[in-house]
Structure 1
Amino acid sequence: MILLIDNYDSFTWNIVQYLQEIGRDVQVVRNDVHTVDLLMAIESDAIVLSPGPRTPSEAGVCLDLVPACARLGKPLLGICLGHQAIGQHFGGEVRRGGLMHGKVSQISHDGIGIFQGLPSPFPAVRYHSLVVEDVPASLMITAMSDDGHVMGLQHRQHPIFGVQFHPESIGTDHGKDILANFCDML
């Protein structure tokens, strides 16, 4: 079962649908309903942090879930705001990067992990105004946009991944494949 933390975003249910189509059960919990301890006590194979408005510091339990997942070896995928929470927790800077609401960018990637078997580049839809910069050494940059922003992160020691773009958007090619690659690692 995948535990999906909903950051009050309309795209959350697209993620649920894709994960269910891949064959995974999904439990959705809002980011301000339970403590980290209660969420970590739920028997799940992995956690997904959804997109959402605002900043990682305003995303309920998300920032505190990142170190909990790292400590316990729980696989974690952050999407958009979730990606930013991962970057911020490990020491990256989350900054304004220009308004990218509904914009398509070409995403180039390293072809490993969640990007395994995907063409590079591929088009992806972005809905954000914040980006992760000054990525710390504990994180690898796994994908970049054609305008030079970090679009993918992976922790060097823990099963923690992030994507800034929206794999669940119908305008993102291979979005379901990215989620399937994450699930295949579980």
Structure 2
Amino acid sequence: MSIRTQLPGALVLEDGRIFPGVPFGAETDAEGEAVFTTVMTGYQEVATDPSFYGQIVCMTYPLIGNYGVCPEDDQSRRPWIAGMVVREYCDEPSHWRSTGTLGEYLARHGIPALHSVDTRALTRHLRTRGVMRAVLVSDRAGRSDDELRELAGKAWTPNTADVVPAVAGDFRALGPKDAPHVVLIDLGVKEHIIESLLRREVRVTVVPYGTTAKAILALGPDGVVTSPGPGDPVNAAAAVFTVRDLARSGLPFFGICLGHQLLALAAGAQTSKLKFGHRGGNHPVKDLLSGQVHMTSQNHGYQVDAESLPVDQGWQIWMVNVNDGTVEGLRHQRLPVMSVQYHPEGSPGPQDNQYLFDEFLALVRAHWERRQPAASVGLAAQASTGGSE
């Protein structure tokens, strides 16, 4: 497929700014929220991250498409972005795993994109003015700039309603049956989160959004994970009550990204929208308990308001963003509950935060061992010491 140079398109923002570009991908228009991400690789993972649902994503790294696409990199069953905007698009990828071009991939899924856009100017504009409504048009012919601006001002965004049902998956049972059992609430989970759990030899039951705490507890879990997902956490009100009951149950609980925000709401805290969000693979986060700083992969537009956290009820801020001081992690002083605002599986982005799965699963295994019959525990102890005398 050759890059089309005719019928130039544009990204039009609700404040009237127009960024012209050359279309690739699907030959259609899109509406959504214009955002940017600073990841240098992983454009396919970005496209298939459900947290990007309904957003037109500007890739700040200038060269996109150079290593093609392959099915193994999909983070979900389909791409969720509304559109993509890049500076330079490579339509002749070179990589041994590549099964096609990014343009073909987006076209197959009906997603439009633009290249030859001044992405630096666009990113600076969004940092200054904040993320906003936008339309991406593949063909400006026959439409005036004023008409396009009017469309941008009325564009739908994923913050106006509960959009989690659009991306959440179905029930799945995975992993060995005779292992610690983790229930994962799917609010738009990425596959690498599930893989990060399975490679640690636990049983994972994925339950759909809307599953009640009572139904989850009936599955007999040793721990619960609440996944990332799109939209304003306040709109996912039903999940707040589920998370509240699970966090109070005494089970190990791990909230990731949207799961972190829902945990904060369940604790009685508040959330608010960030000006331009945290999206990229290079966000420094400080662990306030250890003093260590970790580079993290992030994709969110909302934050937990630190001053609203009820610290008198045992809640504490665990991690903060080094750049702006926003809350990046929560813990409870008495309950086995933890959460992070970023993506510990690092897809795309750094992998050095995988230790969080180990920390959570240590709590899970301790809970599982307490549930085993005394005879089984004795046999396990004998096996670990080489048998009895």
TM-score by length of 2: 0.43
Corresponding position of 1:4: 184
1:146 corresponds to 2:326: no
Assess if the C-alpha contact under 8 Å between 1:167 and 1:178 holds in 2.
yes
Assess if the C-alpha contact under 8 Å between 1:31 and 1:60 holds in 2.
no
Assess if the C-alpha contact under 8 Å between 1:124 and 1:172 holds in 2.
yes
- Find 1:77's aligned residue among 254, 259, 265: 254
1:136 corresponds to 2:316: no
Q: Deviations over 1:44-81 (max 9, x none)?
A: 11000000001333336431122212332111110000
Q: Deviations over 1:137-156 (max 9, x none)?
A: 13111111112111110012
SS of residue paired to 2:354? helix
Corresponding position of 1:41: 218
Deviation at 1:167, TM superposition (A): 0.4
Assess if the C-alpha contact under 8 Å between 1:49 and 1:62 holds in 2.
no
- Measured in 2, the distance between the counterparts of 1:71 and 1:22 equals 26
Which runs of 5 or more residues in structure 2 are unaligned?
1-180, 365-389
Assess if the C-alpha contact under 8 Å between 2:316 and 2:330 holds in 1.
yes
Assess if the C-alpha contact under 8 Å between 1:62 and 1:82 holds in 2.
no
Q: Deviations over 1:2-28 (max 9, x none)?
A: 10001024x2x2111000111211111
User: Structure 2 counterpart of 1:181, which letter?
Assistant: E
Describe how 1:14-25 pairs up with structure 2 within 5 A: 14-25=192-203
Aligned CA distance change for structure 1 residues 155 and 70 (closer, same or farther; 3 Å):
same
Corresponding position of 2:233: 56
SS of residue paired to 2:199? helix
Corresponding position of 1:27: 205
SS of residue paired to 1:19? helix
Corresponding position of 1:158: 335
1:95 corresponds to 2:287: no
Aligned CA distance change for structure 1 residues 23 and 110 (closer, same or farther; 3 Å):
farther
Larger Rg: 2
Deviation at 1:38, TM superposition (A): 1.0
Assess if the C-alpha contact under 8 Å between 1:36 and 1:61 holds in 2.
no
User: Structure 1 counterpart of 2:322, which letter?
Assistant: D
- Measured in 2, the distance between the counterparts of 1:18 and 1:107 equals 21
1:176 corresponds to 2:331: no
- Measured in 2, the distance between the counterparts of 1:30 and 1:153 equals 24
TM-score by length of 1: 0.87
User: Structure 1 counterpart of 2:242, which letter?
Assistant: L
Describe how 1:112-127 pairs up with structure 2 within 5 A: 120-127=292-299
Assess if the C-alpha contact under 8 Å between 1:104 and 1:124 holds in 2.
yes
- Measured in 2, the distance between the counterparts of 1:152 and 1:90 equals 13
Give the stretch that moved more between structures: 52-61 or 88-97. 52-61
- Measured in 2, the distance between the counterparts of 1:45 and 1:129 equals 31
- Measured in 2, the distance between the counterparts of 1:58 and 1:7 equals 12
Corresponding position of 2:103: none
User: Structure 1 counterpart of 2:337, which letter?
Assistant: I
What is the CA RMSD across the aligned residues, in angstroms? 1.8
- Measured in 2, the distance between the counterparts of 1:60 and 1:89 equals 9
- Find 2:286's aligned residue among 108, 124, 128: 108
Which runs of 5 or more residues in structure 1 are unaligned?
113-118
Corresponding position of 1:115: none
Assess if the C-alpha contact under 8 Å between 2:284 and 2:321 holds in 1.
yes
Assess if the C-alpha contact under 8 Å between 2:213 and 2:243 holds in 1.
no
Assess if the C-alpha contact under 8 Å between 2:282 and 2:296 holds in 1.
yes
Larger strand proportion, structure 1 or 2? 1
Assess if the C-alpha contact under 8 Å between 1:131 and 1:150 holds in 2.
yes
SS of residue paired to 2:350? coil
Deviating 4+ runs (over 6 angstroms): none
Aligned CA distance change for structure 1 residues 57 and 36 (closer, same or farther; 3 Å):
farther
Higher relative contact order structure (alpha carbons within 8 Å, sequence separation ≥ 6): 1
Deviation at 1:41, TM superposition (A): 1.0
